[in-house]
Structures are given as C-alpha cells and as structure tokens.
C-alpha cells in the first residue's frame, strides 16, 4: 500500500516543479493539482501549505546547486579569479531564483515568517563558500589578503539578490540564460575584483 503513495508524491512534486518554473510567484496548488491530474485536496493531504509544497519540490535542486557551489573554496589558486567568481555568481543566482519566490510566498502567507529554515540555511552556506574562497585566494596573494572577505561576500550576495528581485516576477527561472543578467554578473565581478586586486598592488 505504501508504494502508490510514494509514486503520487513524486507526481505531485514533479508537477509542482513544472508549475513553479513557469509561473514563479503566481504558482498555485490548484495549478499543481491540475498538472498532476489529482484533486487539490490530495495535494494538501501531503503538503499543508502552498509554500511548503513548492519548498519540497525545489529543495533537491537547491541542494544540488549548493553542493556544486561548495567546491568553490577548493578552486582557489586554480584558473583565474574572475572566471571562478563568475561561475560562483551564476550558481548563486540560480539558487536565489528558487529561494526568492519561496520567501515572497512565505511573506505573503505568514507575516511572522515562522518557517524560513531552508532559505536562511542556503544563504548562510552561500556566504560561507564565498567567504572561504576569497580568504583562500587572499592567502595565496591573488587578491588582497587584508580585505574583510566576509563583508565582500555579503555585498556580492546582496547584489545578486537585488538582481533577482528586479527580474520579472512571472517566473523564477525566466532569466537563467538571459544576456543582460549574464552581462551584469560579469561586470559585477569585474568591478569587485578590480578593487580587490588594486588593494593588493
């Protein structure tokens, strides 16, 4: 009897991911139910809130992206700093594009924001990986080792978060390949890196 429930859960989450990527903040549990071919009541038997449903749907992808980003500190000293940071920025943007609509859903439905564990944990991980990477590069002399790397990482992630907020709210994934976002990321990294290298000179 347990297997049909597992299959149905997978069907619901697959439908939720598809709806979330297409509709972002406008996603609803009713759309997920229609996509999955089940009743909305069946959705809520397993996922008590709409934000909880979408969190469950995107959590595996966020986890995978964070796992990729966790490799950043070990890249210190290899390749060049600009390309390393651009790659980190692109991964961070993809995470933030998933997290921001979830945060906005929580904000709209729960003024006390009592359930932000995944969002906060993901942000802390991103900050940790970026800070460690910059610290490692500073120790190698590829950027100024005297800089406050935690503050730089915070500013970097804050700029990326602002980019996500300014993107179209219609879809959490609409700008993944967008030229303007890619250009913004490279220019942001270039400006930050120029300051870090000038300090080291």
- The reported pLDDT for the residue numbered 177 is 46
Residue 97 lies in a domain: yes
56: Cα separation from own chain's centroid: 14
Three state DSSP letters for 21-82: HHHHHHCCHHHHHHHHCCCHHHHHHHCCCHHHHHHHHHHHHHHHHHHHHCCHHHHCCCCCHH
Residue 23 lies in a domain: no
CA 190 to CA 187: how far, in whole Å? 5
- The reported pLDDT for the residue numbered 174 is 47
Which residues of the chain are under the pLDDT cut of 50? 1-3, 7, 113, 170-177
Residue 3 lies in a domain: no
* Residue 152 belongs to domain spanning: 58-200
Helices (H) and strands (E) in the chain, counts: 8, 0
Considering its fold, how many domains does the chain have in total? 1
Q: Name the nearest CA neighbour of 69 among 21, 161, 133.
A: 133
- pTM of the predicted model, to two decimals? 0.80
Q: What are phi and psi of 173, to 5 degrees?
A: -120, 5
CA 8 to CA 6: how far, in whole Å? 5
CA 192 to CA 100: how far, in whole Å? 24
Our CA dihedral for 89, 120, 24, 39, rounded to 10 degrees, sits at 140
Model pLDDT for residues 148-159, shown as the tens digit of each residue: 999 999 999 999
Residue 132 lies in a domain: yes
- The reported pLDDT for the residue numbered 168 is 55
List the CATH number of the domain containing 175. Answer: 1.10.357
Model pLDDT for residues 68-115, shown as the tens digit of each residue: 999 999 999 999 999 999 999 999 999 998 888 887 777 776 555 455
Residue 47 lies in a domain: no
Say how many residues make up the chain.
201
- The reported pLDDT for the residue numbered 95 is 93
Residue 7 lies in a domain: no
- The reported pLDDT for the residue numbered 175 is 42
Residue 151 lies in a domain: yes
Let me know: does 17 contact 52? Beta carbons within 8 Å: no
**Which residues, in sequence order, are CB contacts of 184 under 8 Å at separation 6+?**
163
């Amino acid at each position: 009897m347990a297997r049909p429930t597992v299959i149905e859960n997978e069907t619901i989450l697959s439908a939720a991911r598809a709806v979330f990527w297409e509709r972002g903040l406008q996603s609803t549990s009713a759309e997920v139910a229609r996509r999955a071919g089940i009743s909305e009541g069946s959705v809520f038997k397993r996922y008590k809130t709409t934000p909880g449903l979408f969190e469950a749907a995107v959590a595996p992808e966020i986890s995978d992206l964070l796992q990729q980003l966790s490799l950043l500190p070990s890249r210190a000293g290899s390749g060049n700093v600009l390309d390393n940071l651009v790659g980190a920025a692109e991964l961070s943007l993809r995470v933030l594009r998933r997290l921001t609509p979830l945060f906005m859903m929580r904000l709209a439905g729960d003024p006390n924001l009592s359930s932000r564990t995944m969002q906060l944990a993901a942000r802390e991980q991103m900050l940790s990986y970026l800070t460690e990477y910059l610290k490692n590069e500073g120790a190698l002399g590829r950027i100024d080792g005297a800089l406050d790397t935690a503050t730089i990482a915070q500013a970097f992630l804050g700029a990326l978060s602002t980019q996500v907020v300014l993107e179209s709210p219609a879809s959490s994934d609409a700008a993944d390949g967008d030229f303007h976002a890619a250009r913004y990321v490279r220019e942001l990294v270039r400006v930050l890196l120029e300051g870090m290298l000038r300090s080291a000179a």
